Amino acid sequence: MPQVPSVTAVDRPFTGGGFRDDDGLVSGPRLDFPDQVPYDAYVHASTLHSLQQPLSKDPGEMSFLMVSQVMELWFGLARHELREAQRLLREDDVWGALAPLRRTRLHLEGLVAAWNGLRWMTPSDFNRFRDLLGEASGFQSAMYRHLEFLLGLKNEALIRPFKRQADLHDELAAALAAPSLWDDVTAVLARRGFDIPAEVLTAGHAGEYVPSPAVERAWVEIYRDDRADNPLYLLGEVLADVAEEFGLWRYKHLTAVQRTMGNKIGSGGSSGAAWLTRSMGRVVFPELWSARTVI
Protein backbone atom coordinates (compact mmCIF):
# COMPACT_ATOMS: atom_id res chain seq x y z
CA MET A 1 0.00 0.00 0.00
CA PRO A 2 1.24 3.52 -0.66
CA GLN A 3 2.60 5.33 2.34
CA VAL A 4 0.44 8.20 3.57
CA PRO A 5 2.66 11.00 4.86
CA SER A 6 1.94 12.04 8.40
CA VAL A 7 0.99 15.64 8.98
CA THR A 8 2.44 16.74 12.27
CA ALA A 9 3.87 20.13 11.50
CA VAL A 10 1.75 23.13 12.38
CA ASP A 11 2.13 26.02 9.97
CA ARG A 12 3.22 29.13 11.78
CA PRO A 13 2.74 32.51 10.06
CA PHE A 14 5.74 34.78 9.93
CA THR A 15 6.41 38.16 8.44
CA GLY A 16 8.81 37.19 5.69
CA GLY A 17 6.24 36.72 2.94
CA GLY A 18 5.20 33.10 3.52
CA PHE A 19 4.69 30.39 6.11
CA ARG A 20 7.42 28.47 7.96
CA ASP A 21 6.76 24.89 8.96
CA ASP A 22 8.96 22.36 10.78
CA ASP A 23 10.79 21.51 7.57
CA GLY A 24 11.58 25.07 6.50
CA LEU A 25 10.07 27.78 4.37
CA VAL A 26 6.85 27.14 2.46
CA SER A 27 5.71 29.70 -0.11
CA GLY A 28 2.66 31.69 0.93
CA PRO A 29 1.07 35.11 0.77
CA ARG A 30 2.65 38.18 2.24
CA LEU A 31 0.89 39.11 5.48
CA ASP A 32 2.38 42.44 6.50
CA PHE A 33 2.06 45.71 4.59
CA PRO A 34 3.26 49.17 5.59
CA ASP A 35 -0.02 50.88 4.67
CA GLN A 36 -3.32 49.89 3.07
CA VAL A 37 -3.70 46.32 1.81
CA PRO A 38 -2.88 46.51 -1.93
CA TYR A 39 -6.04 44.63 -2.94
CA ASP A 40 -8.21 47.21 -1.20
CA ALA A 41 -6.18 50.04 -2.69
CA TYR A 42 -6.85 48.66 -6.19
CA VAL A 43 -10.43 47.32 -5.91
CA HIS A 44 -11.65 49.81 -3.26
CA ALA A 45 -13.52 46.93 -1.67
CA SER A 46 -13.93 48.70 1.66
CA THR A 47 -15.54 51.64 -0.14
CA LEU A 48 -17.86 49.36 -2.12
CA HIS A 49 -19.01 47.59 1.02
CA SER A 50 -19.72 50.89 2.74
CA LEU A 51 -22.24 51.94 0.08
CA GLN A 52 -25.11 49.69 1.20
CA GLN A 53 -27.39 51.84 3.33
CA PRO A 54 -30.80 50.15 3.64
CA LEU A 55 -33.77 52.28 4.64
CA SER A 56 -35.46 49.57 6.71
CA LYS A 57 -34.53 46.76 9.06
CA ASP A 58 -36.03 44.17 6.75
CA PRO A 59 -33.21 41.71 5.86
CA GLY A 60 -34.48 41.29 2.31
CA GLU A 61 -33.91 44.93 1.45
CA MET A 62 -30.16 44.36 1.39
CA SER A 63 -30.62 41.94 -1.53
CA PHE A 64 -32.71 44.48 -3.42
CA LEU A 65 -30.25 47.28 -2.80
CA MET A 66 -27.08 45.33 -3.54
CA VAL A 67 -28.42 43.66 -6.70
CA SER A 68 -29.41 47.12 -7.93
CA GLN A 69 -25.87 48.38 -7.27
CA VAL A 70 -24.32 45.35 -8.98
CA MET A 71 -26.49 46.03 -12.04
CA GLU A 72 -25.25 49.61 -12.12
CA LEU A 73 -21.68 48.29 -12.31
CA TRP A 74 -22.65 45.93 -15.14
CA PHE A 75 -24.27 48.85 -17.01
CA GLY A 76 -21.06 50.83 -16.69
CA LEU A 77 -18.90 47.94 -17.85
CA ALA A 78 -21.09 47.28 -20.90
CA ARG A 79 -20.96 50.97 -21.75
CA HIS A 80 -17.16 50.92 -21.49
CA GLU A 81 -16.91 47.98 -23.90
CA LEU A 82 -19.37 49.42 -26.41
CA ARG A 83 -17.50 52.71 -26.52
CA GLU A 84 -14.28 50.81 -27.20
CA ALA A 85 -16.03 48.97 -30.02
CA GLN A 86 -17.17 52.32 -31.41
CA ARG A 87 -13.62 53.66 -31.32
CA LEU A 88 -12.34 50.69 -33.30
CA LEU A 89 -15.17 50.80 -35.81
CA ARG A 90 -14.46 54.47 -36.47
CA GLU A 91 -10.90 53.41 -37.30
CA ASP A 92 -12.40 50.80 -39.66
CA ASP A 93 -10.95 48.02 -37.51
CA VAL A 94 -13.83 45.56 -37.69
CA TRP A 95 -11.69 42.62 -36.56
CA GLY A 96 -10.54 44.59 -33.53
CA ALA A 97 -14.10 45.60 -32.61
CA LEU A 98 -15.17 41.96 -32.31
CA ALA A 99 -13.29 41.48 -29.02
CA PRO A 100 -15.02 44.23 -26.96
CA LEU A 101 -18.37 43.21 -28.44
CA ARG A 102 -17.81 39.61 -27.40
CA ARG A 103 -16.89 40.82 -23.92
CA THR A 104 -20.07 42.92 -23.91
CA ARG A 105 -22.11 39.81 -24.63
CA LEU A 106 -20.55 38.05 -21.64
CA HIS A 107 -21.04 41.08 -19.40
CA LEU A 108 -24.70 41.20 -20.39
CA GLU A 109 -25.00 37.52 -19.49
CA GLY A 110 -23.80 38.48 -16.01
CA LEU A 111 -26.30 41.33 -15.95
CA VAL A 112 -29.14 38.96 -16.85
CA ALA A 113 -28.02 36.50 -14.17
CA ALA A 114 -28.15 39.26 -11.55
CA TRP A 115 -31.94 39.00 -11.57
CA ASN A 116 -31.59 35.56 -9.99
CA GLY A 117 -30.64 37.30 -6.75
CA LEU A 118 -34.20 38.66 -6.50
CA ARG A 119 -36.22 35.60 -7.51
CA TRP A 120 -37.06 34.96 -3.86
CA MET A 121 -39.00 38.23 -3.60
CA THR A 122 -42.79 38.01 -3.34
CA PRO A 123 -45.19 40.98 -3.27
CA SER A 124 -45.30 40.74 0.52
CA ASP A 125 -41.50 40.76 0.70
CA PHE A 126 -41.26 43.87 -1.48
CA ASN A 127 -44.08 45.66 0.32
CA ARG A 128 -42.16 45.51 3.59
CA PHE A 129 -39.85 48.27 2.38
CA ARG A 130 -41.23 49.54 -0.93
CA ASP A 131 -42.91 52.63 0.53
CA LEU A 132 -39.58 53.77 1.97
CA LEU A 133 -38.16 54.07 -1.55
CA GLY A 134 -40.37 57.07 -2.22
CA GLU A 135 -40.12 58.00 -5.89
CA ALA A 136 -36.79 56.20 -6.40
CA SER A 137 -36.96 53.92 -9.44
CA GLY A 138 -34.62 52.05 -11.75
CA PHE A 139 -36.24 54.15 -14.47
CA GLN A 140 -34.00 56.95 -13.18
CA SER A 141 -30.68 55.13 -13.78
CA ALA A 142 -28.40 57.47 -15.74
CA MET A 143 -25.99 54.66 -16.62
CA TYR A 144 -28.80 52.54 -18.01
CA ARG A 145 -29.80 55.48 -20.23
CA HIS A 146 -26.20 55.69 -21.45
CA LEU A 147 -26.38 52.01 -22.37
CA GLU A 148 -29.70 52.44 -24.17
CA PHE A 149 -28.44 55.46 -26.13
CA LEU A 150 -25.33 53.56 -27.22
CA LEU A 151 -27.56 50.74 -28.47
CA GLY A 152 -29.63 53.22 -30.47
CA LEU A 153 -32.68 53.41 -28.19
CA LYS A 154 -33.02 57.17 -27.87
CA ASN A 155 -35.73 59.38 -26.40
CA GLU A 156 -34.94 62.96 -25.47
CA ALA A 157 -37.64 63.05 -22.78
CA LEU A 158 -35.77 60.40 -20.76
CA ILE A 159 -32.99 62.81 -19.76
CA ARG A 160 -35.42 65.27 -18.16
CA PRO A 161 -35.26 63.66 -14.68
CA PHE A 162 -31.60 64.75 -14.49
CA LYS A 163 -32.09 68.42 -15.32
CA ARG A 164 -31.15 69.49 -11.77
CA GLN A 165 -28.01 67.34 -11.80
CA ALA A 166 -26.05 69.35 -14.33
CA ASP A 167 -23.13 66.96 -14.82
CA LEU A 168 -25.34 63.92 -15.40
CA HIS A 169 -27.69 65.89 -17.64
CA ASP A 170 -24.86 67.25 -19.77
CA GLU A 171 -23.30 63.80 -20.17
CA LEU A 172 -26.63 62.27 -21.18
CA ALA A 173 -27.39 65.12 -23.58
CA ALA A 174 -24.02 64.54 -25.25
CA ALA A 175 -24.68 60.79 -25.47
CA LEU A 176 -28.12 61.46 -26.92
CA ALA A 177 -26.68 63.66 -29.68
CA ALA A 178 -23.73 61.37 -30.45
CA PRO A 179 -23.83 58.49 -32.95
CA SER A 180 -24.97 55.18 -31.53
CA LEU A 181 -23.02 51.98 -32.02
CA TRP A 182 -25.47 51.07 -34.80
CA ASP A 183 -24.78 54.41 -36.53
CA ASP A 184 -21.07 53.58 -36.49
CA VAL A 185 -21.73 50.09 -37.83
CA THR A 186 -23.78 51.56 -40.68
CA ALA A 187 -20.96 54.00 -41.46
CA VAL A 188 -18.59 51.03 -41.74
CA LEU A 189 -20.93 49.39 -44.26
CA ALA A 190 -20.93 52.56 -46.35
CA ARG A 191 -17.14 52.71 -46.30
CA ARG A 192 -17.01 49.05 -47.36
CA GLY A 193 -18.96 49.86 -50.52
CA PHE A 194 -22.57 49.10 -49.59
CA ASP A 195 -25.19 51.46 -51.04
CA ILE A 196 -26.20 53.41 -47.94
CA PRO A 197 -28.00 56.69 -48.79
CA ALA A 198 -26.38 59.89 -47.60
CA GLU A 199 -29.50 60.85 -45.65
CA VAL A 200 -29.11 57.72 -43.52
CA LEU A 201 -25.51 58.61 -42.70
CA THR A 202 -26.18 62.30 -42.01
CA ALA A 203 -29.47 61.99 -40.13
CA GLY A 204 -29.59 63.52 -36.68
CA HIS A 205 -28.72 61.11 -33.91
CA ALA A 206 -30.80 62.48 -31.03
CA GLY A 207 -34.18 61.16 -32.14
CA GLU A 208 -35.71 57.71 -32.35
CA TYR A 209 -33.90 55.63 -34.96
CA VAL A 210 -35.80 55.01 -38.21
CA PRO A 211 -34.90 51.69 -39.89
CA SER A 212 -33.60 51.89 -43.44
CA PRO A 213 -34.40 49.44 -46.27
CA ALA A 214 -30.91 50.10 -47.66
CA VAL A 215 -29.28 49.02 -44.41
CA GLU A 216 -31.44 45.90 -44.38
CA ARG A 217 -30.36 45.07 -47.96
CA ALA A 218 -26.71 45.48 -46.95
CA TRP A 219 -27.13 42.92 -44.17
CA VAL A 220 -28.90 40.51 -46.51
CA GLU A 221 -25.90 40.70 -48.81
CA ILE A 222 -23.43 40.31 -45.94
CA TYR A 223 -25.18 37.17 -44.68
CA ARG A 224 -24.92 35.55 -48.09
CA ASP A 225 -21.19 35.28 -47.39
CA ASP A 226 -21.15 33.44 -44.08
CA ARG A 227 -17.50 32.37 -44.21
CA ALA A 228 -15.56 32.45 -40.94
CA ASP A 229 -13.12 34.95 -42.47
CA ASN A 230 -15.82 37.50 -43.34
CA PRO A 231 -15.49 40.13 -40.58
CA LEU A 232 -18.82 41.80 -41.39
CA TYR A 233 -20.67 38.49 -41.04
CA LEU A 234 -18.94 37.92 -37.68
CA LEU A 235 -19.79 41.49 -36.69
CA GLY A 236 -23.45 40.85 -37.46
CA GLU A 237 -23.51 37.71 -35.35
CA VAL A 238 -21.87 39.24 -32.28
CA LEU A 239 -24.18 42.27 -32.55
CA ALA A 240 -27.12 39.85 -32.62
CA ASP A 241 -25.72 38.24 -29.46
CA VAL A 242 -25.49 41.63 -27.75
CA ALA A 243 -29.03 42.57 -28.78
CA GLU A 244 -30.36 39.20 -27.64
CA GLU A 245 -28.74 39.40 -24.20
CA PHE A 246 -29.97 42.97 -23.74
CA GLY A 247 -33.45 41.81 -24.71
CA LEU A 248 -33.23 39.01 -22.14
CA TRP A 249 -32.34 41.54 -19.45
CA ARG A 250 -35.37 43.64 -20.36
CA TYR A 251 -37.59 40.54 -20.28
CA LYS A 252 -36.20 39.51 -16.88
CA HIS A 253 -36.88 43.05 -15.65
CA LEU A 254 -40.49 42.79 -16.77
CA THR A 255 -41.03 39.39 -15.15
CA ALA A 256 -39.38 40.56 -11.91
CA VAL A 257 -41.79 43.50 -11.77
CA GLN A 258 -44.79 41.30 -12.56
CA ARG A 259 -43.70 38.81 -9.91
CA THR A 260 -43.29 41.38 -7.13
CA MET A 261 -45.96 44.00 -7.90
CA GLY A 262 -48.19 42.80 -10.71
CA ASN A 263 -49.57 45.74 -12.69
CA LYS A 264 -49.22 48.38 -9.98
CA ILE A 265 -47.93 51.84 -10.84
CA GLY A 266 -44.13 51.99 -10.59
CA SER A 267 -42.50 53.92 -7.75
CA GLY A 268 -41.14 56.44 -10.27
CA GLY A 269 -44.63 57.15 -11.59
CA SER A 270 -44.52 54.95 -14.71
CA SER A 271 -47.21 52.40 -15.50
CA GLY A 272 -44.84 49.67 -14.29
CA ALA A 273 -45.18 46.42 -16.20
CA ALA A 274 -47.15 48.11 -18.99
CA TRP A 275 -44.33 50.61 -19.53
CA LEU A 276 -41.72 47.85 -19.65
CA THR A 277 -43.82 45.84 -22.11
CA ARG A 278 -44.01 48.81 -24.48
CA SER A 279 -40.29 49.47 -24.06
CA MET A 280 -39.48 45.92 -25.14
CA GLY A 281 -41.08 46.71 -28.49
CA ARG A 282 -38.18 49.04 -29.31
CA VAL A 283 -35.76 46.78 -31.17
CA VAL A 284 -31.97 47.02 -30.89
CA PHE A 285 -30.22 46.92 -34.31
CA PRO A 286 -33.56 46.53 -36.16
CA GLU A 287 -32.29 45.87 -39.72
CA LEU A 288 -30.05 43.10 -38.43
CA TRP A 289 -33.23 41.26 -37.42
CA SER A 290 -35.53 42.24 -40.29
CA ALA A 291 -32.87 41.07 -42.79
CA ARG A 292 -33.36 37.53 -41.50
CA THR A 293 -36.88 37.51 -42.93
CA VAL A 294 -35.44 38.20 -46.39
CA ILE A 295 -32.39 35.93 -46.27
Q: What are the per-10-residue average pLDDT scores of the chain (295 residues)?
A: 48 50 66 91 96 96 97 98 98 98 98 96 95 89 96 94 95 96 98 96 86 97 95 98 97 92 73 80 94 96
Query: Per the domain annotation, does 30 fall within a domain?
Result: no
Residue 100's CATH number: 1.20.58.480
Domain that holds residue 232: 72-294
Do the domain assignments include residue 271? yes
pLDDT digits (tens, 9 = 90+) for 101-153: 999 999 999 999 999 999 999 999 999 999 999 988 888 999 999 999 999 99
Describe the chain by its helix, strand, coil percentages, rounded to 5: 60, 5, 35
Q: Is residue 18 part of a domain?
A: no
Q: Is residue 139 part of a domain?
A: yes
Our count of domains for the chain comes to 1
Residue 177 lies in a domain: yes
**pLDDT tens digits for range 75-87:** 999 999 999 999 9
Instruction: Give CB contacts under 8 A, 24+ apart, made by 97-102.
Output: 97/235, 98/231, 98/234, 98/235, 98/238, 101/235, 101/238, 101/239, 101/241, 101/242, 102/238, 102/241
Residue 97 placed within a domain? yes
Does the annotation place 253 within a ligand binding site?
A: yes
The verdict on whether residue 259 carries a ligand-binding annotation is no
Does residue 28 sit within a domain? no
